[in-house]
Chain A
C-alpha cells in the first residue's frame, strides 16, 4: 500500500471521513428540523397554522438542502466506491427518497398558490407524507449500513433487490430517525411561532419526545443484543463511552429548557443530540464505511474506497476555501430571517 499523505498527523482519507461526517451531521440537523416540521403538518388543523408552519422554513429550506447536495458530492468525490456501491445496492429506497424530495419541494412551492381548499388539503397531505417518509427512509438506509450489505469481492452486491431493505432493524432505525427529526422540528417551530399554534406545539413536542425515547430505547437495546461486536470498540477505547452519555444528557436537558421558554437553546441541544449519535455511529464504523456481511475483507473502508491522495488533497483545499464562505452565507441568511414568522405578500 502506498504511503498516505497526512495533515496534522491525520491521513487524508480520515480527514475526508470527518468532512463527510460533518456535512451529513449538518444535513441531519438543518433538514432535520425542515423534515421534522413537515412530519407534524397534519397535526395542525387550521389552514393558517399550516401556512405559517411552511413559511417558518420558507426562506431556509433551500439553503439547508445545500448540505445534502454537498454531502452527496463529497461522498462521490472522496469515496466514489462507497457512493457507487451504496446507491446502486439501495436503489429502491434512494429512488423513493429522490422522488419524495421532488414532491416535497413542489408542495412547498405550490400549496398556497391557490385559494381552493381541496388544492391546499391535497398538498398538505403530500407534504406530510413526503416529509415523514423522507425522514423514515434516511433512517432505514442508515440501519442498512449498520447491519451491513451482502458484499462479495470487488464490492459486488448480491443482496435482495426490491424490498429487502426493510429489515426489522432498519425499520427501527427509521422510526428513531423520524422521532428525533420530529423533536427537532417541533422545537424549531416553537422558536418561529406564537399564539395558539405555539401552545399546540408545546403539547405536541411532549408526544414527540416520548416517541423518541421509546423508539430510541428499543433500537439501542436491539443493537446491543443482536448486532455483533457493537461493544468491542468501547472496550478498546473506553473514553468513547462519553458519546452515549453526552447524547443522553443533551436529551435530558431539552424539557428543562422548553419549560423555561429557551427555545433557541433547546434547538441547540436537540441538534447536539443528533450530532453525538452520529459521532457514535461514525466511531463505531471507522474505518469501515459499509460492512460486508460475507467477510470483513470485502467491506468498503475509507482506504479501499478513497480517491487518490492527489485528489483528496485538492478537495481538502476546496473545502478549506469554500467552507468559510458557506458559513458566511449561512450567518447572513439566518440573521436576516431571525424571529417569528410574519406572513406578507412574498410568503409561500
Chain B
C-alpha cells in the first residue's frame, strides 16, 4: 500500500478510536453537573451517590480521551507535514487556544474533582465539576473550529506558491466563526450530550431491570431522559441547519450525501438506499424532490449534482458517504421517537412499568456512539478529495519524508495498543457498573 492510503487509515483509525471517549466525557460531565447541583440544592444523598458513581466512570473515559488525544495533536506533524505547514498559521492558533483555555481548565480541575472530595468544600468541588465540564465543552469548540475551517475556509489568504504556499490568517474572528463552525459545534456538543445521556440511561435501565439501586436509578434515569429528550429533538434542528450550510458552501458534499449526480435537477431525499457509482443511480426509498424542498422549500428546485464537478474534485466513495449519512439520520429519528415515547410514559406516571422499554434503553447506549462515528465519517469523506476544501488535496498533504514501512509499523503498534486499551476500558466499565454506585453488602439500609 502507498503512503497516502496508510496515513489515511492510521488517521481514521486513531481519530475514530479517540472519538469514542471525549463525547462520553462531555455528556457524563453534563449529567454530573446536574446531579451535583441537585445534591447541593436539596442535600439528598441519592444525588451525591449518583455524582460519585458517574465520576468514577467519567475518570476512565476522560483518561483514555486525553491519552488518545495527545496522539492526535502530534499526528498532524508526523504524518501530515505538508498539511501542517500549510494550515499551521490558522489551525495552530485554534489548537493553542484549545490547550490554554480548555485543556488547562479541565485537566487542572480534574485532580480536584477526582481526589478532592475530602480536601475541599462541597461548593468548591461543585465549581471544579463545572470547570471540568466547561473545559471539555471548550475543547470541542476549538477542535471543531479547526475542522470547520478545513470544510469552509474563511478569514485567510494564500501566500506563496508551490511548496511554500500556505494559508495565513487575515481575520481571526472570521476564521473562528467560519460559515460552518457554529452549526457544527452545536451539532457535536449535542451528539456528545446524547452519548453521555444514553450511557446513563442504559446503566440505570440495567439496574432497574435487575431490581438493584432502584431509588437512585429512577432519579438518574429521569435526569438523563430529560436531557436525552430535549437534545434528540434539538439535534434534528442543528442537523438541518448544518445541512443547509453544506448545501450553500459544499455543494459536492451535499450531492454525495444524497447520491445526486445530475448537474442540475431536482434532488430526492432518501430514507435508505444504495448508490451505484457506475450507473449513477440510487436504488431505495425516498421522497422525490425532497432534498430540493429541504434546501429551497420547492420540490422542483434544481440542486447541483456531482457531475457538475470535475472527476478529480468529486468524493470517490459516494455510496459510503451516503450510507454513513443515512445511518446517522435513521438513528437520530429513532432516538427522537424513543425518548418522546418514554417521556410520554413519564408524564402518565408509567415510565418504569414496561420492561421491554427498559431493555431497549439498556442496549441503546451504542446508538449515539454509532451516530457520532458515522456522522464524522460522512463529514470527512464527503469533503474528499480535499483536505482543505478547494485549496489543498489530501493526496498533497501527507509527510513526504515518512515511508510506508514506518507507517505500517506505527499502525500495527496502534492497533495492538488500542485493542488492549479498548479491552481494558470495557472490562473496567463492566466492573464498575456491576459493583454499582455503593456497596450493598456494607451499607444496605442507609440508601435505597
Q: Which of A99-107, A237-245, A284-292 contacts B (4 or more CB under 8 A)?
A: A99-107
**In the complex the two chains form, what is the Cα distance from A106 to B428 in whole Å?**
11
Q: Which residues of B contact A227 (CB under 8 A)?
A: none
Tell me if B67 and A78 are in contact (CB < 8 A): no
With beta carbons under 8 angstroms apart, the residue of A66, A102, A154 that contacts B103 is A66
Chain A contact residues, majority secondary structure:
helix
Judged by a CB distance under 8 angstroms, whether A234 is at the interface is no
| Binding-face segment, A206-214, A275-283, A309-317 | A309-317
Interface string of B76-113 (1 = CB under 8 A from A): 11111110110111111101111111011101111110
* Contacting residue for A308 out of B60, B169, B410, CB 8 A: B169
What range describes how many residues of A lie at the interface?
A: 35 or more
Binds B, one of A32-40, A80-88, A183-191, A261-269: A80-88
- Whether A89 lies near B401 (C-beta < 8 A) is yes
Shortest distance from the beta carbon of A84 to any chain B beta carbon, whole Å: 4
Q: Using known A-B contacts A80-B89, A91-B406, determine if residue A346 contacts B114 with beta carbons closer than 8 Å.
A: yes
Contact A87 B114 (CB under 8 A): no
Closest CB of chain A to B417's CB: distance in Å?
6
CB distance from B121 to the nearest CB of A (A): 11
Contact of A101 among B67, B79, B119, B403 (CB under 8 A): B67
Are A74 and B109 neighbours in the complex by a CB distance under 8 Å?
A: no
Within the complex, the shortest CB–CB distance from B73 to chain A, in Å, comes to 5
With A73-B98, A99-B414, A101-B67 known as contacts, the answer to whether A311 contacts B169 (CB < 8 A) is yes
For A329, list chain B residues within 8 Å (CB). 104-105, 108-109
B70 near A98: Cβ-Cβ < 8 Å: yes
* Closest CB in chain A relative to B433 CB, distance in Å: 14
CB of B74 closer than 8 Å to a CB of A: yes
Residues 398-448 of B at the A interface (beta carbon under 8 Å): 399-403, 405-406, 409-410, 413-414, 417, 421, 424, 428, 431
Say what secondary structure dominates the interface of chain B: helix
Distance, CA A80 to CA B80, complexed state (A)? 11
Min Cβ gap A302→B in Å is: 14
**What residues on A are CB-neighbors of B90 within 8 Å?**
311
Q: Which of B162-185 contact A (CB under 8 A)?
A: 163-164, 166, 168-170, 172
9 extra interface residue pairs, beta carbon distance < 8 Å, beyond A66-B108, A76-B77, A78-B96: A59-B112, A59-B114, A62-B107, A95-B413, A103-B417, A161-B402, A307-B89, A333-B108, A336-B116
Chain A contacts to B: CB under 8 angstroms = 58-60, 62-63, 65-66, 68-70, 72-74, 76-81, 83-89, 91-92, 94-95, 98-99, 101-103, 105-106, 109-110, 113, 154, 156-157, 161-162, 307-308, 310-311, 314-315, 318-319, 322-323, 325-326, 329-330, 332-333, 336-337, 344, 346-347
7 A-B pairs with CB atoms under 8 Å apart are: A62-B110, A66-B107, A80-B166, A92-B410, A161-B406, A162-B406, A347-B115
